[in-house]
Structure 1
Amino acid sequence: MRLFGEVAGLYDAARPGYPASFADAILAFHGREPASVAEIGAGTGKGTAVLARLGGTLTCIEPDPRMAAPLIARFPSATVHTGTFEEWTPPPGGVDVLGCAMAWHWLDPATRNERARDALSAGGTLAIFGHRYGYADPAQGAAIQAALNDLDPTVQDRPVDWFHEDVLAAGLFTGVHKQVVNTPLPLDRTAYLDLTRTFGPFLRHSPELQRRGLERLGRLIDDFGGTVTLDLRTTLVLGSRAG
């Protein structure tokens, strides 16, 4: 997860936030204002903006100090643990709400559900949410995907709403369900390339391959008339600790 620290400022500026309605959905599911909230992989605070609206004390877990810097500035009342979820010790009795925005895939698949359950108080709520970046115009999406595949054919998308299936399969939470919000997100050439520069598969490549990829994507956006519209699918998965 420390991969993003080198572009922390760009990540904070380019990544879209989350629907404010998710806070209301979490509160309705939990049934009361939580006394304590913790967030896994808080990054620069995109998901924190939702969780901070729940009330209660807020603890943010973020392993990269470079990502944590804008998080601390934006949410000065939050306690920030600069380390991994696995290194963090939950308070006695657990927290009422445990959130995770776009970071569930960074956790060990063999232990993440069990660790999340153990971090929650009895009847506590798990809230996982994240974006999936589709394209409003299928032809534009196909052209961009073809360009990306040419640069790196090894990258594969996870199934849609995969973390919903992951939590269901674990069988450790009750009442598990999901909510989906679709939002059109028009981006000009600069905004789209900036967003691309914050993606993990892009950041793993050499500077030369990154440069070639941005040039090719930029030419495509120019061919589209200077704008590409994303179909932003944002999913919230909720579940209660069983027992």
Structure 2
Amino acid sequence: MAERALSFGAVARAYERYRPGYPAELAERVLDYAGAPVRTALEIGAGTGKATRLFAGRGIAVTATDPDPAMLAELREHLPAEVETREGALEDLRPDRQYGLVYSAAALHWTDPAGRWPRIAALLAPGGVFASFGGPARLADPVVRQAFEEAQAPEVESAEVPSPDGTPPENEMQWPGAELEKSGLFADVRQFVVPQRLTLSADEFVGLLSTISAYLILPIPVREQVFRRIRQVLPETVELDAGHTVHLARRR
């Protein structure tokens, strides 16, 4: 997992180009849940700032953190100067201040489970909100998806990151919801899905794949061979189901 977590910096520009942004509805629902104005936020694993835009664009003072300097450098190119950045993983952060919102977009699974929730709680003001959101972008057409999966095998069995706590996909409460409830540090845990549908060209879809850790850790010749096979089975445009599973909780 550590190798995958630190694989993105080499493709920071492609990450910014091909990774989709987040829908406005997602930020609206997080802030509605907060129930009061949120003035400060800390982002865990900000990457190139796809989710930073959601909250900084609403007048919130966001501190964006990421362990990869190349990802933060790309973020700084695209976001206002008032967005503060800090290089470091969650485990490196010190609770020298507290925030009204701490959130992580498609990055929480890269954090160390040992002490994860006490660390996050320490960064939140009492009553502050924690939000985690993300999800895989899956090909919507089952026939295209089957051809895609066959084309990437056997080098890539699945590009999705498995549930960090082993929660089966059929469970009603997905990770990290149950962990939040069990921690004793958070209340009012909620889970819901914000839908998102995308239409990409086949080349854009392969570009998206080029930013996913399961492919990045392959040797370059193998990766290129896999991408060639995938491109050959794709129609000129593909539809993606890219809905985001959101978990919200409030610090006790």
Q: Is the 8 A contact 2:199 2:237 kept in 1?
A: yes
| Corresponding position of 2:166 | none
| Corresponding position of 1:188 | 201
Cα distance in 1 for partners of 2:159, 2:28 equals: 35
Going from structure 1 to structure 2, the CA distance change for 1:165 and 1:61 (only over 3 Å counts) comes to same
Task: Provide the secondary structure at the position in 2 that maps to 1:132.
Answer: coil
Q: TM-score normalised to the size of structure 2?
A: 0.87
1:214 aligns with 2:205: no
| Corresponding position of 1:18 | 22
1:176 aligns with 2:189: yes
Q: 2:127 aligns with which of 106, 109, 123?
A: 123
| Corresponding position of 2:236 | 226
Cα distance in 1 for partners of 2:144, 2:8 equals: 27
Task: Provide the secondary structure at the position in 2 that maps to 1:12.
Answer: helix
Task: Provide the secondary structure at the position in 1 that maps to 2:12.
Answer: helix
Going from structure 1 to structure 2, the CA distance change for 1:157 and 1:66 (only over 3 Å counts) comes to closer
Residue identity opposite 1:80 in structure 2: T
CA RMSD of aligned residues (A): 1.8
Equivalent positions of 1:13-162 (< 5 A) are 13-73=17-77, 74-92=79-97, 94-153=98-157, 157-159=161-163, 160=169, 161-162=174-175
Q: Is the 8 A contact 1:33 1:56 kept in 2?
A: no
Q: Is the 8 A contact 1:17 1:46 kept in 2?
A: yes
Query: What is the CA distance between 1:156 and its match in structure 2?
Result: 5.8
Equivalent positions of 1:197-208 (< 5 A) are 197-208=210-221
Q: TM-score normalised to the size of structure 1?
A: 0.90
List runs of 5+ in structure 1 lacking aligned partners.
none
Query: What is the CA distance between 1:58 and its match in structure 2?
Result: 1.7
Task: Provide the secondary structure at the position in 2 that maps to 1:151.
Answer: coil
Describe the superposition over 1:159-178 as per-residue Cα deviations: whole angstroms up to 9, x where unpaired.
Answer: 55433344334343111112
Q: Is the 8 A contact 2:25 2:194 kept in 1?
A: no
Cα distance in 1 for partners of 2:12, 2:66 equals: 12
Going from structure 1 to structure 2, the CA distance change for 1:26 and 1:149 (only over 3 Å counts) comes to same
Query: What is the CA distance between 1:228 and its match in structure 2?
Result: 1.8
Q: Which runs of 4+ in 1 moved over 6 A?
A: none
1:2 aligns with 2:6: yes
